[in-house]
Amino acid sequence: MTAAPTASTRAGAPGEAAAPTAEEARVREFLERVIADGAAAMAGLCTSIGDRLGLWTAMAGAGPLTPAELAARTGLDERYLREWLDAQVAGEYLDYDPDRGSYLLTDERAAVLADPDAPTYAAGMFTMLQALYGSENALLEAFRTGEGVGWGEHGPALFEGTAKFFRPGYAAALVPEWLGAVDGMEERLQRGGRVADIGCGYGHSTVFMAEAYPASRFHGYDFHGPSVEAARSLAERSGLADRVEFDVATAQDYPGEGYDLVTFFDCLHDMSDPGGALRQTEHALADGGVCLLVEPNMSADVRENVHPIGRGMSAASVAVCLPSALAQPGPEALGNHAGEDVMRRIADGAGLHHWTLAAESPVNRVYAVTR
Ligand SMILES: C[S@@+](CC[C@H](N)C(=O)[O-])C[C@H]1O[C@@H](n2cnc3c(N)ncnc32)[C@H](O)[C@@H]1O
């Protein structure tokens, strides 16, 4: 009996190309995946352009628009807009009607691309790309030397993009879910408490908390001066400057004592001395005060990070989180997926012995830590 031909043995008929071997088929399949990833990386620039020029917002709820109609709405160049619109059709972000020559942003896509206040808004993450790709040469050098690339050494699009990327998650969950999950914290802040938000960046987390608890006072600290400036201007615009202050300080030496709540949103792992930051926090907390640690929902077992969020976060760790810590004086270089056990040990060493998982989302894990 003759064995049936397999993909690796089947020969083509005379004049026909031979069928690919199994190995060739696997290479082809991976090649297609990498091309798709490269295409998405290139198209990300167009997504960012749409976000920063307000194109998604201009198209949201507008029905089908021709390039001339979009140009009239935005005051932008029609020829560029047509090219951008065509690119969005190729990426299936817009529908095209060949009869009218018009382009449509559907409502469900608008919910992701057009409204920075929607909990599903994700276009902000593309702002970071300019900075990340712009840091490539500095990262090449860092890989060679083992030195860091400090947070402030990246382009300003990183700071703005980080704020835009995290803001919708904080809007959706910080007050309604995360603080609600910490025993007694809502009551404490409703009565009037003191809060320090460490590594506050552009201050969205601080301002969301301040809006929810009008009897409480809030202080945001970050060692990055331009971010503190942006946070101050957010507090002014929000009419909260009388009880929300922002100052430049490191997490290891921020001032004040008697805080009911000290928060670290997605920043503890960026620090080379997270133990020093938590020791300072242990010292700064009031009796019964709580430290809220919000960290990426990433596993120390890299096989568990094989999903889009894990992929994006791991890449951010290479480009930003690890280099940020390596640029600071201190003993640790955690990256963003050191895992809960490592963080917990550091907290314990800093005198914060009680550790609970208060809440979880696909992006974040939220720990409430106390003495
Ligand atoms: C990923 S960003 C998060 C910013 C903000 N918490 C948010 O969620 O949008 C990390 C922040 O930590 C700050 N940071 C890093 N190391 C710090 C340190 N040792 N002391 C104070 N801030 C630090 C950076 O300046 C940056 O604003």
* pLDDT tens track for 64-90: 999 999 999 999 999 999 999 999 999
Give the residue numbers spanning the domain of 89. 22-113
Residue from 195, 197, 270, 321 whose mutation best tests the ligand 1 pocket (most atoms within 8 A of CB): 270
**Could you tell me if residue 73 is inside a domain?**
yes
Q: How confident is residue 162, by pLDDT bands cut at 50, 70 and 90?
A: very high
Instruction: Please tell me the residue having the least CA distance from ligand 1 atom 10.
Output: 267
* Tokens encoding 279: 């020791």
Supply the DSSP string of 261-308, one letter for each residue: EEEEES-GGG-S-HHHHHHHHHHHEEEEEEEEEEEE---SSGGGG-SH
Among candidate residues 113, 137, 152, the one where a domain is terminated:
113
Tell me the CATH number at 340: 3.40.50.150
Same domain, residue pair 109 and 182: no
Average pLDDT of 174-190? 97
Q: In whole angstroms, give the CA distance from residue 103 to residue 190.
A: 48
* Nearest residue to 22 via CA among 38, 5, 35: 5
Check residue 110 and give its pLDDT: 98
Quickly count helices (H) and strands (E) in the chain: 15, 9
The CB-side HSE value for 70 (13 A sphere, CA atoms) comes to 29
**Could you tell me if residue 133 is inside a domain?**
no
* Tokens encoding 293: 């640690």
Average pLDDT of 149-155? 98
- With a 6 Å cutoff on the Cβ, whether 328 touches ligand 1 is yes
Same domain, residue pair 349 and 263: yes
- With a 6 Å cutoff on the Cβ, whether 151 touches ligand 1 is yes
Same domain, residue pair 210 and 109: no
CA 266-271-277 angle, to 5 degrees, is 90
Average pLDDT of 153-160? 98
Same domain, residue pair 104 and 175: no
**Could you tell me if residue 125 is inside a domain?**
no
Same domain, residue pair 194 and 100: no
- With a 6 Å cutoff on the Cβ, whether 165 touches ligand 1 is no
What separation in Å is there between the alpha carbon of 267 and the centre of ligand 1? 5
Q: What percent of the chain has pLDDT over 90?
A: 94
Rounded alpha-carbon distances, angstroms, from residue 53 to 27, 50, 339, 371: 39, 5, 38, 48
- Read off the amino acid at residue 323: P
User: Is the pLDDT at 186 greater than 60, yes or no?
Assistant: yes
* Tokens encoding 274: 């997270």
3-state secondary structure 301-319: CHHHHCCHHHHHHHHHHHH
Average pLDDT of 94-110? 98
Q: In whole angstroms, give the CA distance from residue 325 to residue 271.
A: 5
Check residue 2 and give its pLDDT: 39
Instruction: Please tell me the residue having the least CA distance from ligand 1 atom 23.
Output: 199
Tell me the CATH number at 101: 1.10.10.10
- With a 6 Å cutoff on the Cβ, whether 84 touches ligand 1 is no
Check residue 230 and give its pLDDT: 98
* Tokens encoding 171: 């809007």
Q: Are 88 and 45 in contact (CB under 8 A)?
A: no
Average pLDDT of 34-63? 98
Same domain, residue pair 213 and 87: no
**Could you tell me if residue 14 is inside a domain?**
no
Check residue 17 and give its pLDDT: 79
What separation in Å is there between the alpha carbon of 201 and the centre of ligand 1? 6
Q: How confident is residue 6, by pLDDT bands cut at 50, 70 and 90?
A: very low
Residue from 221, 267, 268 whose mutation best tests the ligand 1 pocket (most atoms within 8 A of CB): 267
Q: Are 255 and 188 in contact (CB under 8 A)?
A: no
Q: How confident is residue 8, by pLDDT bands cut at 50, 70 and 90?
A: very low
Cα–chain center distance at 246? 21
* Tokens encoding 332: 């640790």
What separation in Å is there between the alpha carbon of 5 and the centre of ligand 1? 60
Check residue 16 and give its pLDDT: 76
User: Is the pLDDT at 5 greater than 60, yes or no?
Assistant: no
Other CB atoms within a 10 A radius of the CB of residue 281 amount to 28
**Could you tell me if residue 107 is inside a domain?**
yes
Same domain, residue pair 101 and 191: no
**Could you tell me if residue 138 is inside a domain?**
no
What separation in Å is there between the alpha carbon of 364 and the centre of ligand 1? 16
Among candidate residues 87, 113, 139, the one where a domain is terminated:
113
* Nearest residue to 286 via CA among 203, 174, 192, 178: 192
Q: What are the tens digits of pLDDT across the range 220-279?
A: 999 999 999 999 999 999 999 999 999 999 999 999 999 999 999 999 999 999 999 999
The answer for 219, left when phi > 0, alpha when psi is -120 to 50, beta otherwise, is beta
Among candidate residues 68, 87, 113, the one where a domain is terminated:
113
Average pLDDT of the chain is 95
Same domain, residue pair 107 and 178: no
- With a 6 Å cutoff on the Cβ, whether 213 touches ligand 1 is no
What are the backbone angles phi and psi of residue 95, rounded to the nearest 5°?
Answer: -95, 145
User: Is the pLDDT at 1 greater than 50, yes or no?
Assistant: no
Task: Quickly tell me which residue has 């025993």 as its tokens.
Answer: 183
Same domain, residue pair 281 and 208: yes
What separation in Å is there between the alpha carbon of 70 and the centre of ligand 1? 38
- With a 6 Å cutoff on the Cβ, whether 224 touches ligand 1 is yes
- Read off the amino acid at residue 243: R
Q: In whole angstroms, give the CA distance from residue 73 to residue 67.
A: 10
- With a 6 Å cutoff on the Cβ, whether 254 touches ligand 1 is no
**Could you tell me if residue 164 is inside a domain?**
no
User: Is the pLDDT at 337 greater than 80, yes or no?
Assistant: yes
Same domain, residue pair 256 and 188: yes
* Tokens encoding 165: 């990327």
Same domain, residue pair 90 and 183: no
Q: In whole angstroms, give the CA distance from residue 191 to residue 206.
A: 18
Q: How confident is residue 216, by pLDDT bands cut at 50, 70 and 90?
A: very high
Same domain, residue pair 217 and 291: yes
Cβ neighbours of residue 40 closer than 8 Å, sequence gap 6 or more: 91
**Could you tell me if residue 148 is inside a domain?**
no
What separation in Å is there between the alpha carbon of 227 and the centre of ligand 1? 9
Domain tally, the chain: 2
